[in-house]
Chains A and B, each alone.
Chain A
Amino acid sequence: DADVTQTPRNRITKTGKRIMLECSQTKGHDRMYWYRQDPGLGLRLIYYSFDVKDINKGEISDGYSVSRQAQAKFSLSLESAIPNQTALYFCATSDPGAGGTYEQYFGPGTRLTVT
């Protein structure tokens, strides 16, 4: 987990507030991802970026935006937080491995609570 860091680790915010979750990596990977995890629903992809100039929406991008400030940094913003965005958020990175496969490396997660 030390190669991929996330800040903050825990955050409680109120409905309507704008907040930013940050992710940094030292793995030198081009690809970065944001997921959210809810009990029983597994990991769902919010946004992904294949390089600094390539950002794409994932399965559940509504209500979120991202910024890829550098190869090593990928931030997720909640423009106006709502209670159903309460979840565990993970950042991940990947690059092609020896066999051209894309294993992902995850950060420790941010637990977000919206009241």
Chain B
Amino acid sequence: SQKIEQNSEALNIQEGKTATLTCNYTNYSPAYLQWYRQDPGRGPVFLLLIRENEKEKRKERLKVTFDTTLKQSLFHFTASQPADSATYLCALDMGGNAGNMLTFGGGTRLMVKP
């Protein structure tokens, strides 16, 4: 079965710096890879989706890359702010043949210090 690895240790960075989070997976590449933000005690919130044939996708201060050779997605948050502090989850969607079900990673906690 698919295994997803996200750094379980918190990432601490200074305000204004770029945060880079990683999502590694084993086995087959997903049709889509999704990123979610989760604040303490709250449900995850969808941020961005990238398809297997897309190398990079941007949304405001966020850039996500997807490398099917390395089996890795990188999540870059530029000009980080304390309000960006949260846990970020990646999720793999294996596509329609698998019912578009999501498999989630354990998440990485990002702490942005002022």
B104/A42 in contact, CB under 8 A: yes
Which of A41, A104, A108 is in CB contact (< 8 Å) with B102? A104
A90/B43 in contact, CB under 8 A: yes
Within the complex, the shortest CB–CB distance from B99 to chain A, in Å, comes to 7
In the complex, whether A48 has a CB less than 8 A from a CB of chain B is yes
In the complex, whether A103 has a CB less than 8 A from a CB of chain B is yes
A interface residues, how many (CB within 8 angstroms): 27
Query: Given A40-B8, A42-B107, are A1 and B101 neighbors across the interface (CB < 8 Å)?
Result: no
Residue of B nearest to A100 (CB): B96
B106/A41 in contact, CB under 8 A: yes
A102 to B93, CA, bound (A): 8
Interface residues in A47-80 (C-beta closer than 8 Å to B): 48, 50
Q: Which residues of A contact B (CB under 8 A)?
A: 1, 4, 35, 40-45, 48, 50, 88, 90, 92, 94, 99-109, 111
